[in-house]
Structures are given as structure tokens and as C-alpha cells.
Chain A
Amino acid sequence: MTSAPGTTPETNQTDSSASDGGLPEPEAKTRARGIPFRFLIPAVIGLDILAVLLVPPFPAGGSPGQACGYPACWITSVIEFPPPAVVVDLQPATAPASTPMLYFHPSISSTILTMWIVMVLLLLMAFVATRRMKVVPGGLQNAVEWAYEFGRDFAVGIGGEAAKRYYPVFAGFFLFILFSNWSGLVPPIGKIEQLRAPTSDVNITIGLALTSFVLFEGEGFRRLGVRGYLGKFFPLGEFRQGIGAGLLAMYVGIIELFLEFVKPVTLSMRLFGNIYGGEVALAVISALTLAVIPVALYGLEALLNLIQALIFSVLTLMFILIAIEGHASEEHAAEGVAGTTARLEPVSAGNQEAAAA
């Protein structure tokens, strides 16, 4: 290589050492970084078109090789219905003929299988991160500690100081639902019949919502006692201030009781609808336009899955905090949710003053 008069001494050094074989790295780096995107994108599009030509889609329930017209049959060959596919049937004798949306039949479905895989991965990560813990952490333990503190600051910002006690509940729900949602975007899991994102199944989201319901009701009963907690819905003490005030308080209490049972329904349906609807939308778009355009929807789905996991866990935390508040301090709970971000400002200002002093 000829060296132009304006080259830096560094390139002269690499010239001389490349002939020695001492520093091959700068040249190798430019070569490896040099697969430009303008080759990759047509390569992916070509691969998609080749796959459709070699393995054309066939009607659902049929065999490969049957005819399949472009819009309608391509879409229905990819869409999966809400009830999950059964992997292992635990009671083959009483299997229902056509599966309705909710049925009670013990079987291991594709969503349960994926849920076990996600659980094993999460527990493995927790085990590896906390094995032989050092006082000055490094590597995986450092990353997990950073995530723990970040989540705890977020939970305290949402719920106030009382949220510190229920932070494990928040983090547990958040991590499990987040990785369950995102597992539906990993390539084999949406498309093989044996694997499917766990939270795209009504049964699993109803189970999660029921767990959350038992948690916040249980915490309310434990903290306030049975009479105290039921006294929030049926305030019999208001009758002392006249029949009118008493009847009004009972009316409000009955509406609040109704809302208590609406909470797990909305939690489960919100999560199921978002994840299952996202799966269906992604399948339809991928069937209609093979490449490039589904990537945008893929990114949107990743963001929405994160937000839905966050919302489920934030709502559980808030329901717990509202349930353990006494009747007199209910205004503090409501204002705490909206105003805690403002409350963080004086704390940080105080820290800055203390640090500067």
C-alpha cells in the first residue's frame, strides 16, 4: 500500500506491522464491518420469496400441497384461534370434540409448555446471578443489582414509601409477564403448533389476574381485619349521621364492591387482548406482505408487550396499596399516585444541597 503524504503515523505503523503479521486487527475490523445493509436487506427479501415458492402455505388442517389462494387462504393458514393447541392430553378419554373458548379439561397445552420454559430460564438466571455473591459485584450480579434498584426506585416513585414492602410482588409479575410476552416474538414460538406465548391464552391471564386478586384482597384483610376491610364497602357508621347520609354511603359502597370484582376481569382481558391481538396482527401482516413491512409492526409489538407488562404490575401494586389504606386516608392514596413524581423533586434537591454542603 502506498502511503499518501497526508496519512497519520498510525496508518504507517499498521502498514509496517501488517507485513509482520503483528496487528492484523484494524484491517480485519473494516472487512468484517463491511457487509453493508444494501446487501443484507435484498438477501432477506430474496430468502422470504424463495421460502414461499419452495414451501407454499396450505390450508389449515390440510396437507402440504393443497391449493391456497393469495389473500384469504394465506391468512387463515397462519391464524391460530384463542384456545391453545394441546401438546399432551392428560385425559384422552373425555376430550371435547371442538374446543370452545373456555373449557375444563386437564391437558398440557402449547402455552403451558412455553410458560415452563420461560420459568426455567428466569429461575436459572436468578440462580446464576445470586450464586457466590461478592460485596463488590461484577458481571451478571452487577446487572441484576442495577435492574433491582432501578425497579425499586420506579415502584417507590409510583406508590410512595409503602411500596417498598410489596416490591417483590411487582418485580415478580413484571419479569414473568415481560418475558412471557416477548417469548411470543422469538421466531419459532409463534409459528410452531407446540409453542405459543403464554399470555396469549385466556386461561393463563385469568390465572394471573386471580393471583393478583387474591393478593390484594388478602393484604387488605390482613392489614385492616375483616370488619375494617368490609367496613370500607359497607360503612354502617354513616347511619349515625342520618338516614340519608347512610343510604348514600351504602350506595357508593356497593358500587365500589362491584368495581372490586371488575378489577381482575379487566386485568386479564387487557393482557390477553393485547398479546393475542398482537400475534394475530403480526401473522396477518406477515402473510400479506412477506418482508420489510412486518418489521415495523414487530417493533411496535415489542414496545406494546413491555408496556402491558408494566401496566399489569403497576396496577397490582396500586390495588394492593389502595386495599391496605384505611378509610380515612383514602385521599392520600389517590393523590399519591398522581403526585409522587412531584414529591421526588424536593428529595433530589435536598440531596444536591446536602452533597454540595
Chain B
Amino acid sequence: MVEHIGAGLAALGVIGPGIGIGILAGMSSNAIGRNPDAAGQIRGLAIILAGFAEGLGVLAIVVGLLALFLK
């Protein structure tokens, strides 16, 4: 029972990457608006950086899985 609460609390850690990717999206849209010629490079960089931030959110999910399955 307590492990379910623990897993639920661990899943709250996905808020962090959500905010991070939101900030990334806003700033990269800003940068493309200021400099439309660099749109290709900014788009490529933004996709890779979003993947990094996503990975950290996944670490939170893995902690929740560990709480549920390690007895």
C-alpha cells in the first residue's frame, strides 16, 4: 500500500521536464522569430535538447517502477 503512494509521489517528478521543455519551446520559437534564416539549426538543436530533458523525467518514472516492483 505504501509503495503505491511512493510510486504516485515519484511520478510527480515529471513536472520538471514538462516545465523545462515548455521553456525550451518558448525560447526556440522566440529565436526562430528573430532569425528565420537559422530555423533549420534551431529546430535540430531543439529536438535534441528536448530529448535530454525528456530523459530526466523518465528517471522519475523509473524510480516509481522500482518502488512498485522491488519487494
**When the two chains form their complex, are residues A274 and B48 in contact, meaning their CB atoms are under 8 A apart?**
no
Give the docked Cα–Cα distance between A341 and B52 (Å): 19
Give the docked Cα–Cα distance between A277 and B62 (Å): 9
Q: Tell which of B1-9, B23-31, B63-71 binds the partner.
A: B63-71
The residues of B that contact A65 with a CB separation of less than 8 Å are none
B interface residues, tally (CB under 8 Å): 20
The residues of B that contact A81 with a CB separation of less than 8 Å are 69
Closest chain B CB from A331 CB (angstroms): 20
**When the two chains form their complex, are residues A310 and B71 in contact, meaning their CB atoms are under 8 A apart?**
no
**When the two chains form their complex, are residues A101 and B69 in contact, meaning their CB atoms are under 8 A apart?**
yes
B37-71 at interface with A (beta carbon < 8 Å): 41, 44-45, 47-48, 50-52, 54-56, 58-59, 61-62, 65-66, 69-71
Give the docked Cα–Cα distance between A311 and B50 (Å): 10
Give the docked Cα–Cα distance between A22 and B57 (Å): 63
**When the two chains form their complex, are residues A310 and B48 in contact, meaning their CB atoms are under 8 A apart?**
yes
Give the docked Cα–Cα distance between A157 and B44 (Å): 11
The residues of B that contact A269 with a CB separation of less than 8 Å are 55, 58-59, 62
State whether the Cβ of A308 lies closer than 8 Å to any Cβ in chain B: yes
| A interface, over-half SS | helix
The residues of B that contact A274 with a CB separation of less than 8 Å are 54-55, 58
Closest chain B CB from A284 CB (angstroms): 14
The residues of A that contact B51 with a CB separation of less than 8 Å are 307-308, 310-311
**When the two chains form their complex, are residues B61 and A311 in contact, meaning their CB atoms are under 8 A apart?**
no
CB-contact partner of B69 in A82, A266, A272, A277, under 8 A:
A82
**When the two chains form their complex, are residues B55 and A100 in contact, meaning their CB atoms are under 8 A apart?**
no
**When the two chains form their complex, are residues A100 and B69 in contact, meaning their CB atoms are under 8 A apart?**
yes
A243-285 at interface with B (beta carbon < 8 Å): 266, 269-270, 272-274, 277
Given the known A-B contacts A308-B51, A311-B48, are A273 and B59 also in contact in the complex, defined by CB atoms under 8 Å?
A: yes
State whether the Cβ of A314 lies closer than 8 Å to any Cβ in chain B: yes
The residues of A that contact B52 with a CB separation of less than 8 Å are 311
The residue in A82, A269, A273, A311 that gathers the most chain B C-beta atoms within 10 A of its C-beta is A273
Closest chain A CB from B65 CB (angstroms): 6
**When the two chains form their complex, are residues A311 and B62 in contact, meaning their CB atoms are under 8 A apart?**
no
Give the docked Cα–Cα distance between A129 and B71 (Å): 49
A299-357 at interface with B (beta carbon < 8 Å): 304, 307-308, 310-311, 314, 341
Closest chain B CB from A232 CB (angstroms): 23
The residues of B that contact A304 with a CB separation of less than 8 Å are 54
The residues of B that contact A272 with a CB separation of less than 8 Å are 58, 62
The residues of A that contact B50 with a CB separation of less than 8 Å are 307
- Please give me the 6 A-B residue pairs with the lowest Cβ-Cβ distance, nearest first: A273-B58, A270-B55, A311-B51, A307-B51, A341-B41, A273-B62
